[in-house]
C-alpha cells in the first residue's frame, strides 16, 4: 500500500553564505562614495554596480531551493529559468554532515548525500539549519522508503564502483 508523499522539510540556503560578498561590496560602496565626494561627485553613480551585484548574489542563494519528501529529495535552481533535480530516497547510500566554523556560529551546516544514482550520485545541501536533525529525518525516511519498495543497498568488498563513488 503506497502512502501519500509528504514534505519533511523545505527551504533554501542561508544568506550567511553571502556575508563575505556583502561585506566586501559595502566596503567598495563606501570607497566609491568617499572618492566621489572628495574627487568627482558623478562617480557616486558607480556605487550602483556593487549594489546590483549584491542583489544578484542574494537572488542566486534565494532561488536555490530544497524540498525533502517522504519519497524524494528535490533541488531547484535558477532565477528566470528553473531546473529541478530529484533523487529517490531509496537510492541514498550515505549522508554526511560538514559544519564549517563560520556556519556553526549560526547553527548551520552542509549535508552531503551520496546515492546510487548513475547520473548525479552526490547532492550537497549547503548552509541548512539544524543539519543533525535533518540528517536523522532523511535517514529515517530512507529506511522507511527502502522497506516500502523492498530494496536493500548491498556493498561488495573490492567493488570498484562503490569505492569510486
Rounded Cα distance, 58 and 17, in Å = 9
Q: 154: pLDDT confidence band, cut at 50, 70 and 90?
A: low
List of residues 6+ apart from 11 with CB closer than 8 A:
65, 66, 128, 129
Q: How many CA atoms lie within 13 A of 17 on its CB side?
A: 20
Name which of 14-18, 38-42, 133-137 the model is least confident about: 38-42
Contact 66, 10 (CB under 8 A): yes
pLDDT, one tens digit per residue, over 45-65 is 999 999 999 999 999 999 999
pTM of the model: 0.82
- Paired with 12 in beta bridges are 65
DSSP label at residue 120? -
Taking the domains of the chain in order of start, what are their residue ranges?
7-12+65-151, 17-59
pLDDT, one tens digit per residue, over 79-101 is 999 999 999 999 999 999 999 99
List of residues 6+ apart from 70 with CB closer than 8 A:
3, 5, 6, 8, 89, 141, 144, 145
Q: Is the CA virtual torsion 91, 112, 95, 11 positive or negative?
A: negative
Contact 35, 46 (CB under 8 A): no
Mean pLDDT of 143-162: 72
Q: What is the share, in percent, of the chain residues with pLDDT greater than 90?
A: 78
Contact 100, 108 (CB under 8 A): no
Mean pLDDT of 28-50: 91
pLDDT, one tens digit per residue, over 5-18 is 999 999 999 999 99
Mean pLDDT of 95-116: 96
> Is the pLDDT confidence value at 157 over 70?
no
Taking domain 7-12+65-151, whether its CATH number is 2.60.40.3680 is answered by no
User: Tell me, what's the pLDDT at 165?
Assistant: 43
User: Tell me, what's the pLDDT at 153?
Assistant: 66
User: Tell me, what's the pLDDT at 96?
Assistant: 97
The DSSP bridge pattern shows strands 108-115 and 92-98 to be antiparallel
Amino acid at each position: 500500500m503506497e502512502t501519500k508523499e509528504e514534505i519533511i522539510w523545505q527551504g533554501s540556503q542561508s544568506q550567511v553564505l553571502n556575508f563575505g560578498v556583502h561585506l566586501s561590496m559595502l566596503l567598495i560602496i563606501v570607497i566609491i562614495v568617499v572618492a566621489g565626494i572628495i574627487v568627482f561627485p558623478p562617480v557616486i553613480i558607480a556605487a550602483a554596480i556593487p549594489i546590483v551585484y549584491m542583489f544578484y548574489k542574494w537572488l542566486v542563494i534565494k532561488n536555490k531551493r530544497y524540498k525533502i519528501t517522504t519519497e524524494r529529495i528535490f533541488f531547484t535552481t535558477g532565477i528566470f529559468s528553473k531546473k529541478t533535480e530529484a533523487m529517490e530516497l531509496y537510492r541514498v547510500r550515505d549522508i554526511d554532515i560538514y559544519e564549517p566554523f563560520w556556519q556553526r556560529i549560526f547553527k548551520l551546516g552542509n549535508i552531503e548525500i551520496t546515492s546510487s544514482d548513475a547520473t548525479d550520485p552526490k547532492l550537497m545541501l549547503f548552509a541548512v539549519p539544524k543539519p543533525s536533525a535533518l540528517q536523522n529525518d532523511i535517514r529515517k525516511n530512507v529506511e522507511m522508503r527502502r522497506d516500502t519498495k523492498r530494496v536493500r543497498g548491498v556493498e561488495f568488498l573490492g567493488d570498484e564502483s562503490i569505492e569510486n563513488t
